[in-house]
Amino acid sequence: MFDYTYLPEPSLVPYLIEMMAKIMFIFTMNVGVFAPVLGWVERKQSALMQDRIGANRADVFGFTLFGLVHIATDALKLLVKEDFIPRGADRTLHYLAPFIALVPALIAFAVIPFGGQYDLWGHKANMVIADLDVGILYVFAVASLATYGSVIAGWASNNNWSLLGGIRVGAQMLSYEVAMGLTLVGVFMVYGSLRLTDIGVAQENFFHWGIFLQPVGFILFITCALAENKRTPFDVPEAESELVAGYFTEYSGLKFAMFWMAEFLEMVTISAVLVALFFGGWQIPFVTHAGLAGFFGFLGPNGAQVATMLVHVGVFWMKVLVWIFILMLIRWSLPRFRYDQLMNLGWKIILPLALANILVTGAIMLLVK
């Protein structure tokens, strides 16, 4: 399953250290930084759009830190809230659902490269947790597992609104996964690989970025990705004005927080996939890996590699942040689809367009060759 080819023969210990460091890093970034901070970013960003101030009341000894303290108060509130299970609910499934929703969101990031490959003291470090050759397919597979969490939550709550939300989520995810897979086929054809690190390396040339080679695929993919994320305008399964809160109507406390966190983590993952496939991953426009290492040459060979690595990882996260911001802009600008219109868009518009995109991409590749 894992690709061990880059692993130098005798060194299991550096490999383990590298692996643990990467997992720790991604876990810290996602769970420790993004999940809580995005809640704050979303509040402040929407406030900015809506001529408001945003959350700024909670304070520690008088310091509000631009509302950042709300993260702590939110966490505290969710921790001490009553964990409510409605009468007649399936207790086991009701407990299980948030876990099934959250875990895929946590592990989907494993194949996304957040940096290139670097020679550090004779050890080749690859800035991705699991460099699978099926790459992006893994993300799809794991993301579709998360659907079970929502559907089960809807089913187990013994509430008609939750059930409707669960049904909607099932139908929506199924429809858009088909379309989403097809929108990316063009990308795989162009780069000739499913492995995200290969795609990242291929985008070292600025004009080989996915956005230039697959513009239609990009637009279709971002639409599908938004739908997979279940946020406005695609938040039909949790449409608060129709279904109260859809499949997590009957959840409170930490279990509610888990659904909430899963949504934010999915947003991070989607942004990361967008960056990895269409916006050059960790690459900086017009700056090659060797060029950057050369610039840092005064730090010695290892120092130069470390500096390059830090710059690349920083660039990657910057791009992800920009995309999260854009996704939030969309979320706060548009009204919500109706259930049938959402289905029409997925099956009757995006799917045929994705197929046409594959055809055109194939034809152009033939002609160019």
Partner 1 sequence: MMKDNRMDLHTEPFVLNMGPSHPATHGTVRFLLKMDGERILHCETEIGYLHRGFEKHCENGTWTQVFPYTDRLNYNSAIQNNVAYALAAEKLLGITGKMPERCTAIRTIMCELARLADHYTGLGASMLELGALTAFLYFVEARELVWDLIESVCGARLTSNYVRIGGLSTDLPEGFAAHTKQVFATNRVFWTEFDKLLTKNRIFLDRMRDTGALSREDSIAFGFTGPLLRAAGVEYDVRKAHPYLMYDQVDFDVPVGFAGDNFDRYLVRMEEINQSIRIVEQVLAKLPSGPINVDDPAVRNPSKEAVKSRMESMIFHFKNTIEGIQIPAGEVYVPTEGSNGEVGFYLVSVGGGKPWKCRVRPPCFALTQAVGEMVKGGFLSDIIPTFDMVNLIGGECDR
User: What x-and-dash track marks residues 274-313 binding partner 1 by CB under 8 A?
Assistant: ----------------------------------------
Residues in the chain: 369
Q: Does 52 bind partner 1 (CB under 8 A)?
A: yes
Q: Does 333 bind partner 1 (CB under 8 A)?
A: yes
Among 117, 147, 232, 357, binds partner 1 (CB under 8 A): 232
Q: Does 239 bind partner 1 (CB under 8 A)?
A: yes
Q: Does 57 bind partner 1 (CB under 8 A)?
A: no
Among 22, 44, 94, 336, binds partner 1 (CB under 8 A): 336
Among 340, 367, 368, 369, binds partner 1 (CB under 8 A): 340
- The dihedrals phi and psi of 125, each to the nearest 5 degrees, come to -100, 130
d(CA 305, CA 223): 37
- The dihedrals phi and psi of 126, each to the nearest 5 degrees, come to -110, 120
Q: Does 235 bind partner 1 (CB under 8 A)?
A: yes
Among 233, 280, 281, 346, binds partner 1 (CB under 8 A): 233
Looking up tokens 């900086």, which residue turns up?
Answer: 284
Site for partner 1 in 242-261 (CB under 8 A): 242, 244
Establish how many alpha carbons lie within 13 A of residue 172's alpha carbon, considering only the half-sphere containing its beta carbon.
31
d(CA 17, CA 22): 9
**Which range touches partner 1 (CB under 8 A), out of 49-57, 68-76, 102-110, 350-358?**
49-57
**Which range touches partner 1 (CB under 8 A), out of 9-17, 91-99, 111-119, 228-236?**
228-236
d(CA 349, CA 220): 10
Helix or strand (DSSP H, E) at 118: strand 117-120
Encoded tokens for 150: 């929502």
Q: Does 341 bind partner 1 (CB under 8 A)?
A: yes
C-alpha triplet 288, 291, 297: angle, nearest 5°: 145
Encoded tokens for 344: 């029409």
Among 148, 295, 332, 347, binds partner 1 (CB under 8 A): 332
